[in-house]
Amino acid sequence: MKTIEMKIECQSCKGTGLYCGIAEGEGTAVICNKCNGSGAYNYKFKYNDFTGRNKTKSVKRVYLNGTQYKIGLGIINYSGVGKVNMDKEGVSYDDFFSGAMPSHIKQLGCPMMADQGACHKINGFTDMCNDLNGGWLDLITSCKNKCNASQCWERFEIGSKSL
C-alpha cells in the first residue's frame, strides 16, 4: 500500500479557517474544527497500484444491472414479467474476468430503466418516449408503452450504434 501526503484546502470551511452555522449570528464565526483555523490540512491518500483486476471466488455470473429488480441465479419468476432464466443472462464470471461484458436483461424493462443516461445521449430517443406517452414521461415505470418494450430496445440498439 502506498500513501501520498498532501496539504489541501479544507473542504469544511473552503479554506477560510472559519465556520458559520446556525448558532453563529450574522457577522460572526467560530474556528473551523476540521483545520483548526488554518484553512488547510494534511491529507493522506492510501492506495494500491493497479496491476490488473483482482479475482473473487464469490461471484458466478455478472450482469449490467437489475433494472430495479433483485437479481440472482437460476430461473426467477418476476412479478409482472414472468420467468427469466438468469443463468442465460449476463456472462459467467470467468468470461467477465477474460474481458467479456454482459448485455442488458431486456425482459426486466425498457432501455430507459436499464440505462437512462445512454438513452438521453441518443438523438430523439427520449422525445419518442414522451410522444408514445402522449406527453412528458415523468415516471419511467408508468410508461404506457411497456407492452412494446421490444420496439424500444430496437430503437435503443440502432441509436447506440450512432454514439
For the segment 99-129, what is each residue's pLDDT rounded down to a tens digit?
Answer: 999 999 999 989 999 999 999 999 999 999 9
The percent of residues above 90 in pLDDT, for the chain, comes to 79
Q: How many CA atoms lie within 13 A of 92 on its CB side?
A: 3
What's the pLDDT at 163? 67
Question: Average pLDDT for residues 51-72, to the nearest whole number?
Answer: 94
The mean pLDDT value of the chain amounts to 93
Backbone dihedral region of 132: left (phi > 0), alpha (psi from -120 to 50 degrees) or beta? alpha
pLDDT at 144 over 90: no
Q: At 5, is the pLDDT very low, low, confident or very high (cuts 50, 70, 90)?
A: very high
